[in-house]
């Protein structure tokens, strides 16, 4: 690291590379920890609702973090938010090392909820930092707005796609670690690995992502119609996904006789495939004859298409069409492709609606809505599964996607696309 400092200031691309590498390492631990918590506590006899509550603070504090984290990034720079997020995740993992089967259930739930709260803050600080950094890297193209927007879409797709692919690897890693070395040793090993990744970020400059004029608290809430509408659509979209994916799906697969590593492996492969589709979204659009950057019509199309998929899976389970495991696996694969295209376009659109100067504020506000949707989906996933099984979760998911599609019809064209 001293050698790097002697070579002069890092280029924007080098800064982004370091931020992304740290984000990748963080994502591995985040995905693995989710599977570790779900499997470990389900094995101990916890209900799906109780397991969902273990993630309640994780999602709730993500809402607060995205709102204030964006403001902190704009005021003090993205290096501070990145460091804070990474070290807090290390602390959360270390907190989980002493968790024991003999602890009273109320104490285990409360203790893990606190650790998950710290992890939720850490995750969203890290994510906001990485995604905001893209806007500072992509060069301005005043003579050709379309070229700049295509490049922005490409970089967003690469980051979001690779992140989700690695989160899928993390799901599989969590299942393997629980099977081989157990819960306590697994979280300790992940804490050590993430701390090594943190050391790489020490060379980052302090002013990355910092606004020239310090923003006041009034800047926390977006005043842009496009960002507000897109954030509301994002809320419904990710609530729809986590409504059945977070708690209900892994527990449902276990009731079909799947083992821990099989569930973790399948969900990991799904997220890896989801990430690959996200990363390939620009190429897929070009293959379909759409060479320009995506706009409002693309958001509307993919949201409307997504609405039908969870409903069709629910109908297949209700009517007993084939084996339930096959219906869920095939349906989830189709859902993943369409959701990935939708999410990739969303991630580009939020940056298309904002300027580099206030990017962390707007990205933070947007992912606050994302975290709120995940919170809604996570809690309802456990509650609805207890009441009506996976079918109830799927019907509720279809309703939320339909609301996302309806809201998307109110989106304005991004400023640069209007100019072009």
Residue 416: its pLDDT value, please? 62
Query: Tens digit of pLDDT for each residue in 257-273?
Result: 888 778 877 887 888 88
Domain range enclosing 99? 2-207+224-419
Please report, for the domain that includes residue 294, its CATH number. 1.20.1250.20
Q: What distance in Å separates the CA atoms of residue 84 and residue 327, rounded to the nearest whole number?
A: 42
Q: Is residue 388 part of a domain?
A: yes
Q: Is residue 395 part of a domain?
A: yes
How many domains would you assign to the chain?
1
Residue 417: its pLDDT value, please? 58
Q: Is residue 307 part of a domain?
A: yes
Q: What distance in Å separates the CA atoms of residue 221 and residue 215, rounded to the nearest whole number?
A: 11
Please check whether residue 198 is in contact with residue 122, taking contact to mean a CB–CB distance below 8 angstroms: no
Residue 403: its pLDDT value, please? 95
Return the number of other C-beta atoms located less than 10 Å from residue 97's C-beta. Answer: 13
Which tokens hold the place of 372?
Answer: 């709120």
Q: Is residue 215 part of a domain?
A: no
Spans of the chain below 50 pLDDT: 2, 4-5, 217, 419-420
Query: Tens digit of pLDDT for each residue in 186-229?
Result: 999 999 999 999 998 888 876 665 655 555 545 555 567 888 89
Residue 185: its pLDDT value, please? 92
Q: What distance in Å separates the CA atoms of residue 13 and residue 16, rounded to the nearest whole number?
A: 5
Q: Is residue 381 part of a domain?
A: yes
Please check whether residue 345 is in contact with residue 294, taking contact to mean a CB–CB distance below 8 angstroms: yes
Strand ranges (E), 117-212: none
Q: What distance in Å separates the CA atoms of residue 198 and residue 211, rounded to the nearest whole number?
A: 24
Which tokens hold the place of 170?
Answer: 């993390």
Q: Is residue 179 part of a domain?
A: yes
Q: Is residue 111 part of a domain?
A: yes
Residue 420: its pLDDT value, please? 45
Angle at 163 between CA 157 and CA 165, to 5 degrees: 95
Which tokens hold the place of 95?
Answer: 């907190």
Q: What distance in Å separates the CA atoms of residue 164 and residue 16, rounded to the nearest whole number?
A: 18
Q: Is residue 219 part of a domain?
A: no
Residue 38: its pLDDT value, please? 82
3-state secondary structure of 151: helix
Q: How far is CA 85 from the centre of its chain?
A: 15
Task: Give counts: helices (H), strands (E), the chain.
Answer: 16, 0
């Amino acid at each position: 690291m001293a050698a790097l400092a002697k070579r002069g200031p890092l280029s924007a691309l080098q800064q982004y590379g370091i931020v992304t590498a740290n984000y990748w390492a963080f994502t591995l631990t985040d995905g693995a920890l989710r599977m570790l918590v779900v499997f470990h506590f389900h094995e101990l006899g916890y209900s799906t609702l109780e397991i969902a509550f273990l993630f309640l603070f994780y999602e709730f504090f993500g809402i607060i973090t995205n709102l204030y984290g964006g403001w902190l990034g704009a005021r003090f720079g993205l290096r501070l938010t990145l460091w804070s997020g990474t070290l807090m995740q290390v602390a959360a993992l270390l907190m989980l090392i002493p968790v024991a089967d003999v602890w009273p259930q109320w104490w285990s739930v409360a203790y893990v909820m606190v650790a998950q709260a710290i992890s939720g803050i850490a995750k969203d600080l890290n994510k906001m930092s990485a995604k905001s950094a893209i806007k500072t890297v992509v060069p301005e193209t005043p003579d050709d707005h379309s070229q700049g927007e295509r490049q922005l879409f490409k970089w967003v797709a690469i980051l979001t796609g690779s992140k989700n692919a690695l989160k899928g690897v993390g799901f599989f890693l969590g299942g393997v670690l629980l099977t081989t070395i157990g819960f306590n040793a697994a979280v300790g090993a992940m804490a050590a690995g993430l701390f090594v990744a943190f050391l790489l970020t020490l060379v980052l400059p302090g002013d990355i992502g910092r606004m020239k004029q310090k923003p006041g608290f009034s800047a926390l809430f977006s005043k842009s119609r496009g960002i507000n509408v897109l954030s509301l659509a994002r809320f419904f979209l990710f609530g729809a996904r986590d409504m059945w994916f977070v708690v209900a799906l892994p527990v449902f697969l276990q009731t079909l006789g799947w083992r821990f590593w099989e569930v973790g492996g399948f969900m990991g492969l799904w997220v890896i495939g989801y990430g690959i589709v996200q990363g390939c979204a620009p190429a897929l659009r070009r293959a379909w004859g759409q060479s320009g950057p995506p706009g409002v019509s693309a958001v509307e199309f993919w949201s409307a298409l997504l609405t039908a998929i969870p409903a069709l899976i629910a109908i297949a389970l209700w009517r007993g069409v084939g084996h339930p495991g096959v219906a869920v696996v095939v349906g989830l694969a189709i859902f993943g492709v369409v959701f990935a295209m939708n999410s990739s376009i969303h991630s580009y659109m939020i940056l298309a609606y904002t300027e580099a100067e206030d990017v962390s504020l707007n990205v933070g506000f947007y992912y606050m809505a994302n975290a709120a949707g995940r919170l809604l989906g996570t809690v309802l996933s456990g509650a609805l599964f207890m009441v009506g099984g996976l079918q109830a979760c799927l019907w509720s998911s279809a309703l939320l996607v339909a609301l996302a599609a309806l809201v998307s019809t109110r989106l304005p064209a991004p400023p640069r696309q209007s100019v072009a």
